[in-house]
């Protein structure tokens, strides 16, 4: 950006919004002018202007132009627009139960539990407006775990009648930008694939330095490299930073296939430290350690998050998929309140925490349940609930047993073919015949793996379907038509119709379970069942399951009368 133009823009914003913080100026430039400017660049300009006698900063690090007269009718601008003293009129009607949650004491922490379709996200959006309205001022950060949900949340704000803006971010994005503002810059995230490649080299290096170990024998145990990557991710998620802590911690959620003794942990830790050294030397961070980035900076600076980076209120959706280390950071952000919503039945990642372990108190009146389901139909839930039978998450104290919806609809359609190739073809034919001419209705065609999306898009386009291959923010802001995406991407969203492809057992769950040690198959199968449960309960009107024989084993116990079999003549129970 031209520096002269940049200075003029910032100077004009100071005239309009002073006193204002550098971070808030960056937000205004991004939200109102579509320009991404780092806070550090704005700070550099502001301090130069102060040196030149053109600007001044107060004790709260809010900037103003020297000699500038206040704008008529202006007010101090935070990263949240000033809210009206009375709540905005919502464009949707809330139930008494939902409204009670929205209106709860804005100065306390809150956990909202509720099943798929109970309106948790929309209630959180309305509560965000209520929090700011009740205080008549303040800043609010709304955190999600992916960009698709970010886009969806912004839509929910509009539906809930929110006036003004809040800072809606993924945890990864907020963590990185905050760490950078505090002086820690890094090149980028290391994903699971790059981590695996680096671990191969580091394990060999460890073997040469400290001798052989059974965990170093990758050639004899091909599954072990995947185990190593998951163990590293688990260490990051639990924020284990010292060997003594690793020796003492219970490895909850790590399965039993690989028995790990105290002596084994010392070898594992040696490789872990080699990996940390490599990250430091290459100025990269592991994607599974977004919280550790900040926690490390805070440790170096005394442990507290500077007030300039805190918010009055923090709201989190899908909190069940946040990890312990993430919540250790989140607990440091709010000055006034923390509101969270989650559903253990929709937990689709191997992340674990307890509220006490992260210092968040949500007992008693601070935990509320939304007991109804407003999105999906009885017929869809009749099938979906079988996916939760004997699932490991049902043992959690935070688990909410699904309530039967009151809305009626069509039975879940079952489209079967003799083999996988024909199943995909028949599935695409079905989508074309049923949804080709729809524009405002939303249809999600979902597949197990990302590599399948482009071929699916091309097959549907050959049949005359106008289709979008979307993930992330594009999916979260999707309003109508046919979208092709993966099972996992549907988390937290909703569509009129959902078509679940790829349900021949050899592919889902077979291909995934084949890479898991036998001892851990049950734990992995529980997670994969929940992924399907989430996909099915995104639908407001209909669900169609598409596959070949043998069909996905997760539906074996579902009574046949609950399905509308499009090709029922070839569907036979073993």
Return the domain boundaries, the chain. 3-65, 96-182+291-370, 195-282, 378-565
**Pairwise pLDDT comparison (572 vs 389), residue with the higher score:** 389
Longest dimension (CA), the chain: 84
DSSP state of 437: T
Beta strand pairing call for 63-65 and 55-57: antiparallel
| 380: enclosing H helix or E strand | helix 378-384
* Beta carbons within 10 angstroms of residue 408's beta carbon: 8
User: According to the annotation, is 67 in a ligand binding site?
Assistant: no
HSE on the CB side for 548, CA within 13 Å? 13
Report whether pLDDT(178) > 90.
yes
User: According to the annotation, is 363 in a ligand binding site?
Assistant: no
In whole angstroms, give the CA distance from residue 418 to residue 5. Answer: 65
Residue 110 contacts by C-beta under 8 Å, 6 or more apart in sequence?
Answer: 101, 104, 127, 337, 338, 339, 340, 362, 366, 367, 368
56-85 confidence digits (pLDDT tens): 888 778 888 886 543 332 222 333 333 333
User: According to the annotation, is 121 in a ligand binding site?
Assistant: yes
User: According to the annotation, is 219 in a ligand binding site?
Assistant: no
pLDDT, average across residues 503-532:
88
Highest mean pLDDT out of 177-191, 425-439, 442-456, 468-482: 442-456
pLDDT for 15: 73
Residue 381 contacts by C-beta under 8 Å, 6 or more apart in sequence?
Answer: 373, 402, 404, 405, 537
Among 83, 82, 85, 134, residue whose Cα is nearest residue 105: 134
CATH number given to 3-65: 1.10.10.10
In whole angstroms, give the CA distance from residue 225 to residue 220. Answer: 11
* CA 85, 90, 93, 98 torsion-angle sign: negative
> Poorest-confidence range of 53-57, 168-172, 258-262?
258-262
6-45 confidence digits (pLDDT tens): 787 788 778 767 788 887 887 777 665 556 777 777 888 8
Q: What is the mean pLDDT of the chain?
A: 82
In whole angstroms, give the CA distance from residue 353 to residue 162. Answer: 32
DSSP state of 75: -
* Beta carbons within 10 angstroms of residue 486's beta carbon: 19
User: According to the annotation, is 117 in a ligand binding site?
Assistant: yes
User: According to the annotation, is 115 in a ligand binding site?
Assistant: yes
User: According to the annotation, is 456 in a ligand binding site?
Assistant: no
User: According to the annotation, is 116 in a ligand binding site?
Assistant: yes
CATH class of the domain whose range is 378-565: alpha beta
What are the phi and psi torsion angles at 46 (to 5°)? -65, -40
Question: What's the pLDDT band for 362 if we cut at 50, 70, 90?
Answer: low
In whole angstroms, give the CA distance from residue 569 to residue 351. Answer: 42
Question: What's the pLDDT band for 383 if we cut at 50, 70, 90?
Answer: very high
pTM of the model: 0.69
> Which CATH homologous superfamily contains domain 96-182+291-370?
P-loop containing nucleotide triphosphate hydrolases (3.40.50.300)
């Amino acid at each position: 950006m031209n520096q002269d133009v940049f200075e003029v823009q910032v100077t004009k914003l100071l005239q309009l919004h002073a006193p204002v913080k550098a971070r808030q100026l960056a937000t205004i430039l991004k939200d109102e002018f579509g320009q991404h400017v780092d806070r550090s660049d704005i700070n550099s300009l502001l301090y130069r202007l102060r040196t030149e006698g053109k600007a001044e900063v107060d004790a709260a690090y809010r900037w103003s132009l020297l000699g500038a007269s206040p704008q008529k009718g202006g007010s101090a601008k935070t990263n949240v627009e000033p809210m009206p003293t009375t709540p905005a009129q919502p464009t949707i009607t809330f139930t008494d139960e939902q409204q009670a949650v929205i209106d709860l004491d804005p100065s306390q922490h809150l956990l909202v539990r509720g099943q798929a379709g109970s309106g948790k996200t929309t209630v959180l959006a309305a509560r965000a407006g209520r929090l700011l309205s009740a205080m008549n001022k303040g800043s609010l950060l709304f955190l999600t775990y992916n960009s698709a949900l970010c886009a969806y949340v912004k839509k929910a704000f509009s539906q809930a009648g929110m006036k003004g803006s809040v800072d809606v971010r993924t945890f990864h994005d907020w963590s990185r930008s905050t760490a950078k503002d505090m002086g820690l810059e890094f090149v980028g995230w290391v994903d699971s694939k790059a981590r695996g490649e680096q671990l191969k080299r580091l394990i060999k290096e460890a073997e040469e330095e400290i001798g052989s170990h059974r965990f170093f024998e990758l050639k004899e145990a091909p599954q072990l490299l995947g185990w190593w990557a998951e163990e590293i991710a688990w260490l990051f998620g639990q924020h284990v930073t010292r060997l003594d802590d690793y020796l003492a911690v219970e490895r909850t959620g790590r399965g039993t296939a690989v028995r790990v003794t105290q002596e084994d942990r010392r070898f594992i830790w040696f490789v872990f430290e080699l990996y940390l050294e490599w990250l430091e030397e290459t100025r990269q961070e592991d994607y599974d350690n977004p919280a550790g980035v900040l926690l490390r900076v805070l440790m170096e600076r005394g442990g507290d998050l500077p007030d300039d980076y805190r918010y009055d209120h923090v709201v989190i959706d899908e909190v069940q998929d946040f990890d312990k280390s993430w919540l250790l950071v989140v607990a440091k952000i709010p000055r006034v309140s923390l509101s969270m919503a989650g559903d253990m039945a929709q937990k689709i990642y191997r992340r674990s925490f307890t509220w006490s372990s992260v210092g968040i108190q949500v007992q008693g009146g601070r935990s509320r349940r939304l007991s109804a389901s407003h999105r999906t139909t009885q017929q869809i839930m009749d099938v979906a609930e079988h996916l939760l039978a004997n699932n490991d998450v049902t043992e959690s104290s935070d688990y909410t047993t699904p309530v039967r919806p009151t809305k009626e609809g069509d039975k879940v359609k079952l489209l079967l073919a003799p083999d996988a190739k024909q199943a995909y073809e028949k599935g695409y034919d079905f989508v074309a015949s049923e949804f080709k001419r729809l524009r405002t209705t939303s249809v999600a065609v979902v597949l197990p793996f990302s590599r399948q999306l482009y071929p699916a898009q091309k097959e549907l386009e050959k049949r005359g379907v106008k289709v979008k291959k979307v993930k992330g923010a594009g999916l979260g802001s999707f309003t109508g038509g046919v979208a092709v995406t993966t099972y996992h991407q549907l988390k937290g969203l909703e569509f009129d119709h959902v078509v679940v492809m790829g349900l021949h057992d050899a592919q889902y769950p077979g291909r995934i379970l084949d890479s898991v040690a036998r001892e851990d198959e049950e734990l992995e199968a529980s997670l994969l069942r929940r992924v399907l449960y989430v996909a099915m309960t995104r639908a407001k009107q209909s669900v169609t399951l598409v596959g070949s024989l043998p069909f996905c084993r997760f539906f074996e116990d579902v009574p046949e009368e609950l399905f509308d079999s499009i090709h029922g003549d070839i569907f036979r129970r073993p």
